[in-house]
A and B are shown apart, each in its own frame.
Chain A
Amino acid sequence: MTDTPFILDRGESLWRQRISQFFAKPSAYVSFGLLVLLLLIAIFAPMVAPQNPYDLAQLDIMDGRLPPGSKSMDGKIFWLGTDEQGRDMLSAILYGLRISLFVGVASTFFACIIGASIGVFAAYKGGKVESFVMRLVDLQLSFPAILIALVLLAAFGRGVDKVIVALIIVQWAYYARTVRGNALVERNRDYIEAARCLALPRSRILFSHLLPNCLPPLIVVATVQVAHAIALEATLSFLGVGVPVTEPSLGMLIKNGYDYLMSGKYWISTWPGLALVLAIVVINLVGDRLRDVLNPRLAQ
């Protein structure tokens, strides 16, 4: 108990304390730094990438399928090689990372909001509403996510927006379950009782009293789910039901390289794969650290 001070003087807020706790382990700097780096690369991909891989004017079919480190017809160096259309793989990966991260973050964000709202509402309402919602959650979680996403995308067709919608539908149940579990504990606390006695409107009790207190576990689940969403999107795109060819994510790039793998042209799908793995591992490491900090039971 001595190393976890609960003294809140000197104006130190709980969140600030948690942040310094997060960085107490040196490895947290590495994983957090890498995550920020990946995010920056993804956001500024058009500025960082050597070429715009989807501007056909910049591509030369003569540069097709060059191994890493080769020179192009006009003297540029392709550090990670090129694909069958003479596209610089490094640039394609940077743009692909952008789409993969966008899909992962956007779908998780909306799934989290929708799922958490439903979960907290169910827990607060109780009774029939609650048991109906939770049955629905149980039912959905008893089927593997990949299968539900496959059916949805088979019905929707391809597209970045459609993948995001499918991933939201697949993921909301996790948040609903997590939040409900927490809200069940929190709703019997005194501060909720107090808010009720003040005759505050129900929406206010739900969203400004109950929900904020259910946040910590939600943040942990959401971080790990971003990694899951990215992996799931990559898998769906690899299967050919995810993003369209015009907006290739990392999974799509891997699929494009799959046909050349057998002939030893490994770079077309290996480098996007490594970028994907790096993103997933880094997000998981940050998520793990967050879990250590935000879960009081583990903080010993």
Chain B
Amino acid sequence: MLAYLIRRVGQALLVIAAMATIVFVSIYAVGNPVDILANPNADAKEMAEISARLGLDKPLWEQFGLFVWNALHGDLGRSFVFNEPALKLIIQRMPATLELAFVALIMSIFIGIPLGVWAGLKPDAWSSRTIMSGSILGFSLPNFWIGLMLILLFAVQLKWLPSGGRGPTTSLFGIQVSFLTWEGLRYLLLPAFTLALYKAALVVRLSRSGTREAVLQDYVRFARAKGLSPTRIVLVHVLKNIMIPIVTILGLELGSMIAFAVVTETVFAYPGMGKLLIDSIGRLDRPVIVAYLMMVVVIFVVINLIVDLLYAALDPRVRLQESEG
């Protein structure tokens, strides 16, 4: 197990190093930030000064070397625009994005599981067919468009919910969150629902196929023979057994939800990390772009690593296969 652990962590570090190189080199090709930052009337000398101050006049390999050296010391550079550490900017925005992602995750479970179980119990009913068609739409329709339509309906026409932004926040263990007050939650409902739809479609499919398999099992037949009510069989026996794969997959999908929040946050002008990334791309704020991407890469690699290690711990065959290959 120890050898496997070391090899797997080594691989993860290798991926992070490779991604750091790719990200840095490709972002280095993005326009010339000095053009955007400098006063439009600035002459060549001023431009050169700004360039030198930001370290942009050095050759690529030197900039990269400096980046790696600083990154190893926990410094991912200073934002050109805000003149603050890029990492600080991102961490400031992180609670908003994490809150959005978690609320969306919970919503996708509460929407997806009941619908999926229903469709699994009555596979031929028209209601189940509607649910399954709906889940195909949830998969294939562009998420940002669904967001726009929700804004049009609930914010512009009905005026029930705000169209964007983040509501008032309260402090919870020193982190600013907005889901504790009704006013804050109102701002969260539409973006979280939009973000949840795609995952809800996935949960519907998983819980439907899980339910269809589970109802054929002996333990369900036995529970029925024992005279348990159908509600109890579904809520206690079936649900418990289908939860395992759903929870595993949703855990894996949390990373992609954080990444996908880029789109949702832009639609709803929600001040999270994703909105910061899009704004930074527009402003050619290289350090922030690089820092955001490195952050997401690390989140992904860590989630994948944890899952792999858990699998290896639970299933010795995984370890053996790895050492052979």
B135 at the interface (CB under 8 A from A): no
Partner of B149, one of A142, A154, A228, A273: A273
A selection of 6 A-B contacts at a CB cut-off of 8 Å is A147-B293, A151-B23, A154-B27, A240-B282, A262-B155, A262-B163
With CB as the reference atom, state the residue of chain A lying closest to B136: A284
Cross-chain contact B30 with A231 (CB below 8 angstroms): no
Residues of chain A lying within 8 A (CB to CB) of residue B151: 261-262
Separation in Å of the A101 CB from the closest CB of chain B? 15
A280 at the interface (CB under 8 A from B): yes
Q: Please report the C-alpha to C-alpha distance between residue A269 and residue B297 in the assembled complex, in whole angstroms.
A: 34
With CB as the reference atom, state the residue of chain B lying closest to A273: B145
Cross-chain contact A151 with B293 (CB below 8 angstroms): yes
Cross-chain contact B140 with A227 (CB below 8 angstroms): yes
Partner of A239, one of B30, B156, B163, B262: B262
Residues of chain B lying within 8 A (CB to CB) of residue A269: 148
Q: Please report the C-alpha to C-alpha distance between residue A234 and residue B141 in the assembled complex, in whole angstroms.
A: 11
Cross-chain contact B148 with A254 (CB below 8 angstroms): yes
Q: Please report the C-alpha to C-alpha distance between residue A261 and residue B154 in the assembled complex, in whole angstroms.
A: 12
B residues contacting the other copy or chain, number (CB 8 A) = 41
Partner of A157, one of B31, B141, B142: B31
Q: Which residues of A contact B (CB under 8 A)?
A: 131, 139, 142-144, 146-147, 150-152, 154-157, 227-228, 231, 234-235, 238-241, 251, 254, 258, 261-262, 264, 266, 269-270, 273, 276-277, 280-281, 284
B300 at the interface (CB under 8 A from A): yes
Cross-chain contact A146 with B156 (CB below 8 angstroms): no
Cross-chain contact A258 with B304 (CB below 8 angstroms): no
Partner of A273, one of B148, B163, B289: B148
Residues of chain B lying within 8 A (CB to CB) of residue A258: 148, 267
With CB as the reference atom, state the residue of chain B lying closest to A277: B141
* Contacts beyond the supplied A238-B263, A254-B145, A261-B148: 6 A-B pairs with Cβ under 8 Å: A146-B259, A147-B293, A150-B262, A234-B142, A238-B144, A273-B145
Q: Which residues of B contact A (CB under 8 A)?
A: 15, 23, 26-27, 29-31, 136-137, 140-145, 148-149, 151-152, 155-156, 163, 255-256, 259-260, 262-263, 266-267, 277-278, 281-282, 289, 293, 296-297, 300, 304, 325
With CB as the reference atom, state the residue of chain B lying closest to A234: B142
Number of A-B contacts (CB under 8 A): 102
SS of B interface (majority): helix
Residues of chain A lying within 8 A (CB to CB) of residue B27: 151, 154-155
Q: Please report the C-alpha to C-alpha distance between residue A267 and residue B289 in the assembled complex, in whole angstroms.
A: 34
* 9 residue pairs, one from A and one from B, having the closest CB atoms: A155-B26, A231-B142, A144-B256, A144-B259, A147-B259, A273-B145, A154-B281, A155-B29, A284-B140
Q: Please report the C-alpha to C-alpha distance between residue A154 and residue B304 in the assembled complex, in whole angstroms.
A: 26
Cross-chain contact B26 with A151 (CB below 8 angstroms): yes
Cross-chain contact B30 with A155 (CB below 8 angstroms): yes
Q: Please report the C-alpha to C-alpha distance between residue A231 and residue B260 in the assembled complex, in whole angstroms.
A: 14
Residues of chain B lying within 8 A (CB to CB) of residue A142: 300, 304
Residues of chain B lying within 8 A (CB to CB) of residue A157: 30-31
Q: Please report the C-alpha to C-alpha distance between residue A86 and residue B297 in the assembled complex, in whole angstroms.
A: 44
Separation in Å of the B263 CB from the closest CB of chain A? 6
Q: Please report the C-alpha to C-alpha distance between residue A46 and residue B13 in the assembled complex, in whole angstroms.
A: 53
Q: Please report the C-alpha to C-alpha distance between residue A298 and residue B143 in the assembled complex, in whole angstroms.
A: 30
